[in-house]
Amino acid sequence: MNFWGDEQFSFFESILYQTLGQSVEVIEAQFLSGGDINMSAQVFSSEGVFFIKWNHADQSDMFEVEARGLDLLRQTDALSIPQVIGFGREMDKAYLVLEYIDPGPATNASWDALGHSLAVIHSHTQPKFGLHFDNYIGSLPQTNTLTANGFDFFFEQRLLPQAGMALYRELLSKKSYDALFRLRERLPDLLPADRPALLHGDLWSGNVMVSEAGQPVLIDPAVYYGFREADLAFTKLFGGFDQRFYDAYHEAFPLEDGFEDRVAIYNLYPLLVHVNLFGSGYVSGVERILKQF
């Protein structure tokens, strides 16, 4: 179906009718840059401005679990999280309606606030690693089976499923797959045995924005309770955040010495995710880390 022009407006109006329970006139819509799965738009309507994203994906629960993740982060009262207005299916498409937040420039104060706020989020804990529901990392399923041991969780629920998928797709060699099991034996010596911390789970620069008021905002989470250093390591995968962010976090919730030496181990997970999403270009990064450890 062609989703431009009047048909697109009808699609948005139908979504908003389902979400708000009343007729809504769409006045204007501006398409925004999206990922490989989702399309998104800023929608101006008679009932206000909304952020709507939708997809053709087979995972019908993708936006539902994203909404649950956003709500979980919002319950920490740590920083701005877009309000979930609604989610569902319309015209064979899944959709998510969120509060629209006007973006603004990042400042020193916003980086400080992000560091302190993430420390607050990470202070939220529970007895076991994982989560009471599964979700997604990008378009890939992310299992969150509750696990008492954090090292077992990191290996069995994070590294092993992605490595197994990459092996099956002939993107990862059997040699590298076997090396993961040797790394598993070393994890208790390489990583601190921290308590489960609530994580954003997909914390790269594209999932952090700053509001017009200068407040940091987190979007597109892949939440679970895990080792908090994994969130911080993820921020360094594509160049890192402003140093003020790390300084503010460490001031609020100090890390054990040697964090920089552990970053690569945590980032095996997002690298394996990228192998499965985008192909063999990321395999060398995985192999380099396995060789190192």
Q: Which of 202, 247, 257, 261 is catalytic?
A: 202
224: tokens are: 């679970």
Alpha helices in the chain (DSSP H): 6-20, 62-74, 108-122, 150-153, 160-168, 174-190, 228-235, 243-252, 259-266, 268-278, 283-292
Note if 257 is an active site residue.
no
Nearest to residue 93, comparing CAs of 52, 139, 56?
56
What is the gyration radius of the CA atoms in the chain, in angstroms?
A: 20
Residues with Cβ within 8 Å of residue 97, at least 6 apart in sequence = 15, 16, 19, 50, 51, 52, 84, 85, 86, 87
Q: Do residues 265 and 190 lie in contact, with contact meaning Cβ atoms separated by under 8 Å?
A: yes
DSSP at 256:
P
Residues taking part in catalysis: 202
